[in-house]
């Protein structure tokens, strides 16, 4: 390694370096700089993961990870403080295909929801694929399988569900998988809503009418709450919002004495946005879902929300090429 000035460019990326190599590791850097870099052990894979999670610029992701000593959650918080909600992508870049299927028994006491993935939307619309999903979700409700392996072994039309799946894979020439399912035994009665086969909701409502239950299911599909009420929100998520609010207020120059009050307001806003009973009802935003339920003499015991491809990232980025472009831009600056 040839020592150079410690203020040398920081944007080199060796051709052929693996994702596990320290990010921007290069013979062109001074030992002092590389020593600082290796303390945090930031790798290209870590930067890529954070970028996919947040859609933040690559260099901002690298800086955040360095500042957070490689802690992914902390780095995401740092980006939220710096970039605001632009650093929270949620499911905006989810690209996996497939369907969500829902089944409810005639007495509305037992139901199931199932996600089945395919490689393309074309196959997701195939009648045989859709029938397989419909049959599979019924099996979940009727047979109560313990897991996906047990579901695959369930009997269907004289064979197994797994045999039906593999047969369809061979016929169509595209892979398809059962990804997840949930089975619900209702405390009240079940209702459902499926939006375009891509978003599915199963609601267990005690009291009220089926019309109200359907409206609640439709609201959940549209507003995508994270929890039924405050008790269902993880303490870590609330604390994270509190920290972000305090840091944002501090950076904006707010007095220290006001920070806690500002944080409390931010947490309340956050809980209103992510909890079902506190969200404004989509068909009448002058009242909350909780107020609608109260007026209908109903409560929601539980709900399940599935979105096709949620949490799956299929996009294939040429990360090395992107780094090379960043290098060229830095050299020409």
Q: What is the pLDDT of residues 94-107, one digit of tens each?
A: 437 999 999 999 99
What is the rounded distance in angstroms from the CA atom of residue 310 to the CA atom of residue 93? Answer: 9
Note down the domain range covering 130. 97-228+298-307
Q: Are 302 and 166 within one domain?
A: yes
pLDDT at 182: 97
Q: What is the overall mean pLDDT for the chain?
A: 82
130 domain residue, yes or no:
yes
45 — pLDDT class (breaks 50, 70, 90) = confident
Q: Are 76 and 101 within one domain?
A: no
Q: Are 213 and 106 within one domain?
A: yes
DSSP reduced 3-state for 116: strand
Based on its alpha-carbon atoms, the radius of gyration of the chain, rounded to whole angstroms, reads 25
327 — pLDDT class (breaks 50, 70, 90) = low
**Tokens representing 154?**
């369930």
Q: Are 131 and 191 within one domain?
A: yes
266 domain residue, yes or no:
no
Tell me the mean pLDDT in the region 117-140. 94
Mention every residue, 6+ apart, whose C-beta is less than 8 A from residue 117.
96, 97, 98, 176, 177, 179, 308, 309, 312
pLDDT at 87: 46
Q: Are 141 and 54 within one domain?
A: no
114 domain residue, yes or no:
yes
Q: Tens digit of pLDDT for each residue in 182-215?
A: 999 999 999 999 999 999 999 999 999 999 999 9
241 domain residue, yes or no:
no
Pairing between β-strand 176-185 and β-strand 159-160 as defined by DSSP bridges: unpaired
Q: Are 84 and 119 within one domain?
A: no
58 domain residue, yes or no:
yes
Distances (CA, A) of 185 to 85, 109, 188, 217, 258: 37, 6, 9, 17, 47
Does residue 179 or residue 39 have the better pLDDT?
Answer: 179
Domain count, the chain: 2
320 has pLDDT over 80: no
Q: Which of 21-30, 261-270, 319-328 comes out lowest in average pLDDT?
A: 21-30
Q: Are 58 and 109 within one domain?
A: no
319-332 and 58-67 helices, crossing angle to 10°: 90
**Tokens representing 20?**
């596990």
Q: Are 207 and 63 within one domain?
A: no
DSSP reduced 3-state for 95: coil
Q: What CATH number is given to the structural domain containing 223?
A: 3.30.479.20
Q: Are 168 and 35 within one domain?
A: no
Spatial CA neighbour of 95 closest among 332, 312, 300: 312
């Amino acid at each position: 390694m040839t020592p150079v000035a410690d203020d040398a460019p920081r944007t080199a990326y060796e051709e052929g370096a693996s994702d596990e190599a320290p990010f921007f590791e290069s013979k062109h850097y001074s030992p002092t700089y590389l020593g600082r870099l290796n303390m945090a052990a930031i790798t290209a894979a870590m930067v890529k993961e954070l970028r996919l999670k947040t859609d933040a610029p690559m260099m901002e992701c690298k800086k955040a990870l360095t500042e957070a000593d490689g802690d992914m959650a902390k780095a995401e918080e740092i980006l939220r403080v710096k970039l605001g909600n632009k650093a929270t992508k949620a499911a905006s870049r989810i690209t996996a295909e497939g369907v969500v299927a829902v089944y409810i028994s005639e007495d509305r006491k037992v139901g199931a929801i199932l996600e089945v993935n395919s490689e393309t939307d074309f196959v997701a619309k195939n009648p045989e694929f859709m029938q397989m999903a419909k049959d599979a979700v019924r099996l979940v409700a009727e047979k109560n399988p313990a897991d996906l392996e047990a579901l695959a072994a369930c009997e269907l039309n004289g064979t197994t569900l797994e045999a039906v799946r593999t047969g369809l894979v061979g016929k169509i020439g595209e892979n398809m998988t059962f990804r997840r399912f949930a089975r619900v035994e209702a405390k009240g009665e079940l209702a459902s809503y499926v939006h375009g086969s891509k978003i599915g909701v199963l609601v267990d409502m005690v009291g009220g009418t089926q019309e109200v239950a359907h409206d609640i299911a439709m609201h959940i599909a549209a507003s995508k709450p994270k929890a039924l009420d405050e008790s269902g929100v993880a303490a870590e998520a609330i604390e994270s919002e509190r920290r972000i609010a305090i840091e944002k207020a501090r950076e904006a120059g707010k007095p220290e004495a006001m920070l806690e009050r500002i944080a409390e307001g931010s947490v309340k806003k956050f809980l209103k946005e992510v909890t079902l009973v506190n969200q404004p009802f989509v068909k009448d935003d002058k009242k909350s879902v909780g107020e609608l339920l109260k007026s209908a003499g109903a409560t929601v015991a539980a709900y399940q929300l599935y979105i096709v491809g949620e949490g799956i990232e299929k996009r294939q980025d040429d990360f090395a090429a992107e780094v090379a472009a960043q290098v060229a831009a830095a050299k020409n600056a």
